[in-house]
Structure 1
Amino acid sequence: MDILWYVLEETIQKYSSFFEATAYMLDRNGTVVISSDGSLLGSKLFRSHPHANLNRVIEGGAKELGVAQDFLYCVSVMQNDMFYCYIAAKSEKVAAVSLCCQTAAIAVGELLVANPDRPLPDILKVSEGSRHSMLVDSLLAQPYNHQKTLALFQTAELDGTLLRSIICIEMVFQTNQYFNINLNLGYQPIIEDARSKIISIVEANKYFNTQDICAYRGENKIVIVKSFINNHDISKVYLALDKICESLCEELSGAYLLDFKIAYGNLYNTISKLRCSYEEAKEIISIGKIEYPDKNFYNVDSIITDIICRFLHPQVVNKVFIPLIKRLTNSEGVLEHNLLESCEAFIDSCMNLNRAAHDIMVHRNTLNNRIAKLNSLTGLDPANSFQDALILKLLIVYLRQQNNLTIIEP
């Protein structure tokens, strides 16, 4: 967003805090464009035009705002007979509203006059990208301010009752390294240019509509708030999310110097829950990267075992896994990795001994001996018991997540 907008916002907040009042900047029509507490954005502060209430305390502020014992005051910001904006304030203290307004108006006037090439209408015309950034920041803020977020949704003419999910795109821009030394080969300007192109590619996706939001979150994440019409068959909506993410992968796969991961969170029909969807999407990416570092898109179908292992019940770890780990640790205190790797290949090949031996490039008899040894140490027989095979698979994934076992490349 425009830097001057931020400075104006900070000025409003500063004087609001100093005089213990809530301050607002209003445009020519009386619409709140900046608010010190994030409330009433996009709405009218006065029932009548602000000009009718200039330089006077309105004792009927309680009726105007629906808040008891509040007083309103309004001043206009003008320089050389040119109108810039209105500054208004509300407070329980009569003296505070006028002092807050007048002091803030002087400061805002000085800022605007210092930027003569930036008329206020241009500053107040927030671009769609900036509006999306504000919405994403508000949705994911901690603590969450529902009133502010709802006001931003209303200003952007977004329906807050639609079913929504957060799609998270985590990006890593590649740079050249030589002998562990970062070489400054002019990649940074290229990366900055790539960032703007990537957001354009995402926003132009054929599955997006006017109710969707897309913005950067920090330096390396793009957050997409994808909306859907409420559907009684929720599984169809998740299938649609899969299709959308696959489409994004296709479009981003040709981006220069970019490695990316995509995942989406749960669907919610209340905007206050969307932060949960964002955290879920990030969690799926962090889990998927451990087992499948070369993949770009992760969904729960493809990493279901890994998700189960990330949220295991403590008794499963303490009662089942830890005793097994002790039995599989030799006298030198080293875990028998080769037994576990061979067992995983055997399970992943649907207990097909020949195929498993081929996959890990060992002789069939060697693999058979390893599985027999694992059976003698643990009492688990993956060849004849699905439960034993499941326990061993979960143990292997759990150990990998704990960084105690290397990833087996296919």
Structure 2
Amino acid sequence: MIIAKDLAQKIVDHLMEIVERNVNIMDCNGIIIASGQPQRISNFHQGGKLAVEDQNVVEIKPEEVQQYIGALPGVMWPINIKNKIVGVVGVTGEPHEVRNTAKLVKTVTELILEREMLLADSGSENRLKAQLVDLLFADNTNNALDKINTLADMLNYKVNLPRVVILVKLEPMNNDDFEAQGLQNLLSARIRENVLNLIKDAAFFTADDISLFYKRNLCIIKSVPDQDNLIQVDKFIKSIVDMLNTIQPKLKIQIGLGSRAKYQSELRQSYDEAKFALEHPAGNMIQAINHDAILVSYLFKDHNEHCSYPLALHELKAKFDTIKGKYDMRNTLEGLLANNMNVSAAANRLFIHRNTLQFRLEKLKKIVGLDPCHSFEHALLCKFLLSMDQAK
């Protein structure tokens, strides 16, 4: 690691406000790269060079100054980052007066540099994540499979796990609070990093999940190995809300949830659904594409660029197919729709007893979750399920 001169000077300025002593930072060649005494910058400091060579503290007393080129009385410590000396930090003054101060300055300098290194590493990782997500959410991922696999290997991302896309919009509750609390920097690098660290600590977040800020929203690609894990997704989302409210209670949080994508090629569809759910005017904090009103709105939207039907409807269709043949469900729904959901009229048209039709509807409600005679949205969804059959 090479210490940048501008960063070194910021560290010096910060430390001098605390210790009220002159502080110098030198590179491994003993050249002063930052100082509270600007005239000394770029000068050679033999005491700093010796601290690097001996890998130990160097103290210079007033009577010893002539022995060290470019030196003043003081204490110099090597800066050690990950067991490697990257420079020297020194405090000017009588050694017996600044010995403890110099040790403190060394420790603080190392902490700041370690922090900067972590931020740099994090920035590199986030850039790789952004590149991967751009490819995963592209219109056609088949043209970029090699790039996707390369980036996935670098991030230890398992490409073929089923996943769901979660989008989180963070906004101030009102403009007054926004200004008063200084939340205008909400999307600053430091705030974003804090939020992403919180997400990693949330319940049910795993090594197979990805989180990043993507197109102004927090984007989480959550692994859902099987359908039963969707319950954990709900708990995961609630834990995120609780954690965000803890660190900043004046935030307005809105969440959009897409469908479970079984395959990598379906992630774009899950993202589109999450974005639509997030922007839907229903007004709830957490809005999922499989909520009846949102799914119906999505089906009537001009969205057929990527997929004829949303993944959420395919999930309903899979459940519907398990009972379609056994209970003659296709003819049953066609009869109901043709008779404006009038059970008696539909039973007459189907030449079955009314109780038989009621039994079939109870099965539809229990297994598929649709109750078309009591919900307009459910009736529309049944119509779309029949359309999917015709499209085969």
- TM-score range (shorter-chain normalised) is 0.3 to 0.5
When normalised by structure 1's length, the TM-score is 0.40
As a proportion of its length, which structure holds more helix?
A: 2
